[in-house]
Amino acid sequence: MTATAAIGALAALAGVIALVFAARRLVLLLPPRLLPPGLAAPRDAVLALEQVLALDARRRLVLVRCGGRRLLLLIGGTQDVVLGWQDPPA
């Protein structure tokens, strides 16, 4: 392969990657009702995983949003534990 062919191939690859990122940005600008089902979760979902924090190799703290409240769970040990509910701010 000559140097000009290699440069052309790299330029084509860079162009394709740029088009993929541009298409992603355009899709994110669309309203959720225009997206195909399963592509984006609705922002007002009743149940959603908000955050996960690894405590060690087995245990995790999980923050789940259910409706307007949040639930803190400790999972992964010998048993899963509900640590408590957090009410929405007033």
Q: Is there a single domain that holds both residue 49 and residue 61?
A: yes
Predicted structure pTM score:
0.49
Q: What domain range is 81 assigned to?
A: 41-90
Local confidence band at 67 (pLDDT 50, 70, 90 cut-offs):
confident
Q: Is there a single domain that holds both residue 53 and residue 64?
A: yes
pLDDT digit string, tens, across residues 13-59: 999 999 998 988 887 777 766 666 656 555 566 888 889 999 999 99
Q: How many domains does the chain have?
A: 2
DSSP string, the chain: --HHHHHHHHHHHHHHHHHHHHHHHHHHHS-GGGSPTTTS--TT-SEEEEEEEE-SSS-EEEEEEETTEEEEEEESSSS-EEEEEEPPP-
Q: Is there a single domain that holds both residue 47 and residue 67?
A: yes
